[in-house]
Amino acid sequence: LVREKLPYEKTPQQKELRKKLFDEIDDNASGKVSLAEMDAAVRLKWNLEGIATKNAIDAAFHASKKIQKSEKSSDDYIEFREFRYFLEQLRRYIEIDVAFKKIDEDGSNKLSLEEFEESYDDNLAKFLGGVDAKTAFAECDKDGGGQIRFREFVEWALEKNIEIDVDDDAS
């Protein structure tokens, strides 16, 4: 579902879809869209309400601003040349957000060591070079606060290049 709705691949067909989506969001044809416009489009127009959270949309929006920055770019808007990267990052952030929520059993929006350890499996340990859950937790808990916040989890997953494939049919 998510991958189908977010045309981020570098093909002519996907570029055409991106242009159409961008133009739908850019109502005033200014060539740029704000975070609020993007949020409304992603959650309401693209029917990703409940899948794409504000955390994921905000993180992808700001990540897309770090690429191809020109002197006339604004941190408040995404231009079409940044849009493909936004969509690609949004897919990753949604998948990371889904994984985070599965681990966050108490719904606190923070991961405890106990929650992290329960979700830490052999495949992830092997992928991370055989480190144990406590070591991985400490790496992820950048501020040393004893809990992993969503932003820390995202940065860690991206840094480790962890691909999380959300099984849309599982729910």
> pLDDT tens digit string along 25-40?
998 899 999 999 998 8
**Phi-psi group of 74: left, alpha or beta (phi > 0 → left; psi -120 to 50 → alpha; rest → beta):** beta
Q: Enter the pTM of the model.
A: 0.75
| Helix extents (H) in 26-121 | 35-40, 54-64, 80-103, 113-119
Q: Which of 4-13, 102-111, 129-138 has the lowest mean pLDDT?
A: 129-138
Helix or strand holding residue 148 (H, E): strand 148-149
The first and second tokens of residue 59, run together, are 């993180």
- The mean of the pLDDT values for the chain is 82
Helix (H, G, I), strand (E, B) or coil at 74: coil
Q: How many CA atoms lie within 13 A of 10 on its CB side?
A: 3
